[in-house]
Structure 1
Amino acid sequence: MPINSFENYPMTWKIEKSKLRKPYYQSIASYLEEDILNGTLAENTKLPPQRELADFLDLNLSTITRAYKLCELKGLLYAVTGKGTFVSPGIASQDTFIDKNTSFIEMGMIKPFYEFNHNILTVARNILNCSDCNWILEYSNPFGTKRQISAAQKWLHHFGINTSKENILLSAGAQNALSVILISLFKAGDKIAVDSFTYTNFKGLANFLQIQLISIDYDEYGMSAHALLQTCKNTEIKGLYIMPTCSNPTSIFMPPTRRQEISEIARKFHLIIIEDDIYSFLSPSGVEPFFNILPEQTIHICSVSKSLSAGLRIAFVTFPIRYRKSLLAGMLNINLKAVSLNGEIVAELIESGSAFDIVHKKVLLAEKRKRIFESIFGEFVYDDMVRFFYWIPIPKHMTSEQVELLALQKGVHILGSHRFAMQSEYKSSFIRISITSPNTENDLKKGLQIIRGIFADNTIEFFV
């Protein structure tokens, strides 16, 4: 028997045919993508030869070829002539992205307007030119300096949170903060309630820590209070992860009444609320965050990656004082401190007032792009809040995988709801479109028109 016979080597990846649905190539690509994003398939893993997988599934070779090609287009796989197909590096637990050097119109990733990075670089240069800046390169102040905590307090106060400095810590971004919270306050097997569509990186983190996420139904106002109540009555829930201001991916803004209802349920069942409020700077004035409504049970995360700069990787974590010791221990255990230079840049931006000026200008830019979006798709949200992205229902005869692929083939990168879904019945109903990511307003208009055209084209055929 030849040395390279299929029988001599176990397949590095396979899927049972009974799990697949038509069109098969998209279903195979979807399962393959899921295993890559959740880390089941490590980077640079060689996939089974296409013919081998076709024989295993008893499908045409062309079906497997199309599945692999779809994943290549999404940046998940790469092919080496004469050697095979491999998993792309640096993909696991991240939203799929398109390389910036391609000609695609980016509407998948949520870019936070890069026009103001030069302001931030100016502040960074001034800090590095100071004569006493050596401490920035030292192992010091792992939870933030007094000045940085004071600036954080000022920033939070501006967006409606009043708390003492002892209740604030700096972390190396929102994802780092989520890691610290889960490691410090939860254990394997604990259950956390989440929206039916939720942040993909939180899903990956919970899966890695063996924490079970429980999907809760939602409506146009966010998580359903009734559904959460019924779940808490029937299941032992320890926590609640929620994004009340422009929830990712649904872009829903949770109004005050719903926030009160959810808070009462959390109070009754002693839930730890993890409030990921990355878009708090877009919230209408006077709307209370969960931390204000239920401060004794809420941990509030306020990252500056969208409001100021994605490259700074700084988040302010606000918490009940009884969690301080556990969270400090968790930060030390993870051993990933906020970069001192980044923390100082953010502090200087806040203390000088530049941060608030940047936010104001970003909101004005987002308002202009909102008008472009509405000129093509109309108004279908119940409020007037400015958003960086929208959650759009797709025609019933299409799936989000199909729309995502068609858009990519036509030069637009978007993300389908199958990436965010907690339950399979919700998988293929929507797409998420970032209006802040295209380089120009003309690119935005062109991308939106392409997507609108896909929706309107009834002649499109989808093959098995």
Structure 2
Amino acid sequence: MHTKNIATFQRRHAVRRNRENRMQEEKMRRLRTLYDEADAPCRYQRVAAALEEAVREGLFKPGDALPTQRALAAELKVTTGTATHGYAEAARRGLVAGVTGRGTFVSSTGSDVDVMPPPAPLPPSTQWPDAEAAAPSDGDSSAEPRWNLGFIAPFESLNPSLHKALGNLLRRLSDRELAELQSYHRPAGMDRHREAGALWARRYGVPASGRDLLVCAGSQHALMTILATLCTPGDRIAVENLSYPLLRELSWRLRLPLAPVRTDACGMLPDALESACRSGGVKAVYLMPSCRNPTLTRMPESRRKDIVEVCRRHDVFIIEDDVYALALNPPTPALPFAALAPERTCFIAATSEILGGGLRVAYLCPPQHTLDELERTLSYTISMVPPLMAELAAQWISDGTADRTLAAKREEAAARNAAAREILDGYPLVSRATGFFCWLELPDSWTGRAFAKAALEKGVLVAEGEHFLMGHAPRENGVRLALGGVLRRKDLARALGIVAALLES
């Protein structure tokens, strides 16, 4: 009887194994077809395009293991190096993730915390009256997050009064000037709006004048304008291995491969950037030098000068997106890249984090020889920033409202950072005195994605470290905790308490 059972088990196992082998062969044949049909300029990009279409078709599902690079190369009749490069490109697009010693797997889908903000802040009287009753029950992963610590919404309840600003605008401007706000203007922006932008850029330490800059529809639009104007498909963008996720999405759509560069406690390593440049094709480097998203890394001035020297040797231009620099108090003492290397730096001076996310106004301070070309791109994309929005930003900058709002947000940020350090005392939390977010390093028993999933089941949305990976790199055991997406401090304390409880468990 025992022998018969063993024989039956062996037959069933052989049938199952044969079925799995046939399915794998069918998948590989389909992958070969997708590779042959892919419309891409080079072989490794065809590999990535085939993988992307296979995932879209459901041929490979989230969590599925992909063929080894050697097996894929044999099936597609390409070199192993091409297959490896194709997997790296697919990882850059967020499709797959490599796990050391285990292989490459289709990435799990997750919420894009950097493009999905929490609901607009409500007056305190309309908030949840009973946090205990409002919180989702344990294990209810289908519930909406009760507390959003994922999206960086910098204390929107402290934004300046739009009602008051519109009243001031009506009293201050003549009928002719008001009518001008409904008319077409040159893409760079109206002269007074550009002058206000120069005042704002000087807050960052950038020596700019109104004629030297362009008014853009937010920092993301400024970044897209730079990439679309000064790069061509195939150019590589050097970036720190953990950085702003929307850069990854923009570069993918513009066909600009990212070149992740190693970092240390001071930011991007000049030697690693030198190596990336020597490998060829690097056109630009993207940096957030005063407060990197998500790790809050601050780059000292000596490191900035070393980076500038590398960029000058290899004729690489610098994209300086220091969106969170003004949140710091005192501001970083280091000179911006735009002052150290004005001939090759595009500086983005954002206003949304201070004046309100709905304002969508930022100022782009580029090298002067690129100004006309960048303005043409503005004319092709949005024609011009809505003059009414640019007028509001200029008014707030000129009359001191922006500075008063910044001071109020720093004060609130200081209180919340202090609370985060107290509640998460004893854990490796990286915070600034007045920053808008913190970075929490996790023990090896957690991945960022697993921790984010566990927190969401408790009603807390956090941003996992894997969300910020800029290519084929080891996982990051950490989560970013935004401090401004929860209106009341006591609710923030409750959310951070849940994070601490997860760490305890």
Q: CA deviation at 1:277?
A: 1.5
Structure 1 spans left out of the alignment, 5+ residues: 1-9, 22-33, 41-66, 76-90, 458-464
Q: Is the 8 A contact 1:108 1:414 kept in 2?
A: yes
Q: Partner of 2:188 in structure 1?
A: 143
Cα deviations by residue, 1:204-243 (Å, 9 ceiling, x for unpaired): 1110010011000111211112211222223331110111
Q: Which deviations, in whole Å up to 9, do the C-alpha atoms of 1:317-338 show, x marking residues without a partner?
A: 0011101121111111223521
Residue type matched to 1:188 in 2? P
Partner of 1:197: 242
Q: Structure 2 CA distance, aligned partners of 1:387 and 1:180?
A: 28
* Equivalent position amino acid for 1:452 in 2: A
What is the CA-CA distance between 1:358 and the residue it aligns to?
Answer: 0.7
Q: Which residue pairs with 1:45 in the alignment?
A: none
Correspondence for 2:453 among 405, 408, 413: 405
Contact 1:242/1:276 (<8 A) preserved = yes
Name which of structure 1's ranges 372-381 and 228-237 shifts more when overlaid on structure 2.
372-381
* Counterpart Cα distance in 2 of 1:303 and 1:280: 10
Q: Distance in 2 between matches of 1:170 and 1:368?
A: 33
Q: Which residue is equivalent to 1:452?
A: 500
Question: Matched residues in 2 for 1:168 and 1:408: separation?
Answer: 42
Q: Which residue of 2 aligns with 1:250?
A: 295
Moved more, 117-126 or 193-202: 117-126
The correspondence of residues 138-287 of structure 1 with structure 2, limited to 5 A, is: 138-283=183-328, 284=331, 286-287=333-334
SS at structure 1 position matched to 2:439:
strand
1:14 aligns with 2:64: no
Which structure has the bigger radius of gyration? Answer: 2
Q: How does 1:93-172 map to 2 (within 5 A)?
A: 95-96=115-116, 102=144, 104-128=146-170, 130=173, 131-132=175-176, 133-172=178-217
Q: Which moved more, 1:337-346 or 1:152-161?
A: 152-161
Go from structure 1 to structure 2 and tell me whether the alpha carbon gap of 1:202 and 1:383 turns closer, same or farther (over 3 Å shift): closer
What SS is found at the alignment partner of 1:189? coil
1:390 maps to amino acid = C
Instruction: Call closer, same or farther: CA 1:99–1:151 in 2, change over 3 Å.
Output: closer
Candidates 432, 439, 443, aligned match of 2:480:
432
Deviation at 1:160, TM superposition (A): 1.2
Cα-to-partner distance string for 1:238-289 (whole Å, 9 max, x where unaligned): 1101111211122212122221121111122111101011123135253211
Partner of 1:54: none
What do the CA deviations read for 1:76-101 (whole angstroms, capped 9, x no partner)? xxxxxxxxxxxxxxx7x954556669
Please list the CA deviations of residues 351-382 of structure 1 after superposition, one character each: whole Å capped at 9, or x if unmatched.
Answer: 11111111111111111111101112248578
Letter of the 1:333 partner, please give it.
Y
Aligned residue pairs total 390
Q: The residue matched to 1:422 in structure 2 has which SS?
A: coil
Where do residues 302-341 of structure 1 align in structure 2 (5 Å cutoff)?
A: 302-341=349-388
Tell me which amino acid in the other structure corresponds to 1:218: T
User: In 2, distance between residues paired with 1:439 and 1:407?
Assistant: 19
- Cα root mean square deviation, aligned: 2.9
Structure 1 distance, partners of 2:353, 2:119, is 20
Matched residues in 2 for 1:344 and 1:99: separation?
26
The Cα of 1:415 is off from its aligned counterpart by: 0.9
Q: State whether residues 391 and 432 of structure 1, in contact with CA within 8 Å, keep that contact through their aligned partners in structure 2.
A: yes
> Secondary structure at 1:301's aligned position in 2?
strand
Query: What code does the residue aligned with 2:235 have?
Result: D
Determine helix, strand or coil for the equivalent of 2:410: helix
Deviation at 1:110? 0.2
Is the contact between residue 291 and residue 298 of structure 1 (CA under 8 Å) also seen in structure 2?
Answer: yes
Closer/same/farther in 2, CA of residues 256 and 345 from structure 1, 3 Å limit: same
Between the aligned partners of 2:430 and 2:485, the Cα distance in structure 1 is 23
TM-aligned CA distance change 1:314 to 1:96, over 3 Å: closer
**Percent identical residues:** 27
Q: Who is 2:444 aligned against? A: 396
| TM-score when normalising by structure 2 | 0.71
User: SS of the counterpart of 1:193?
Assistant: strand
So what's the TM-score if we normalise by structure 1? 0.77
Residue 251 of structure 1 aligns to a residue whose secondary structure is coil
SS at match of 1:19: coil
Per the alignment, do residues 20 and 97 of structure 1 end up closer, same or farther by CA in structure 2, a change over 3 Å counting?
farther
Partners of 1:170 and 1:266 in 2: CA distance: 26
8 Å Cα contact 1:280/1:302 also seen in 2: no
Q: Give distance in 1, aligned partners of 2:232 and 2:266.
A: 30
Aligned partners of 1:246 and 1:428: how far apart in 2? 18
Partner of 2:76 in structure 1?
none
CA change 1:429–1:19 in 2 (3 A) is farther
Deviates more, 1:307-316 or 1:231-240: 231-240
Picking from 466, 472, 487, the partner of 1:418 is 466
Aligned-partner Cα distance in 2 for 1:282–1:256: 19
Q: CA 1:354 to 1:409, structure 2 compared with 1: closer, same or farther past 3 Å?
A: same
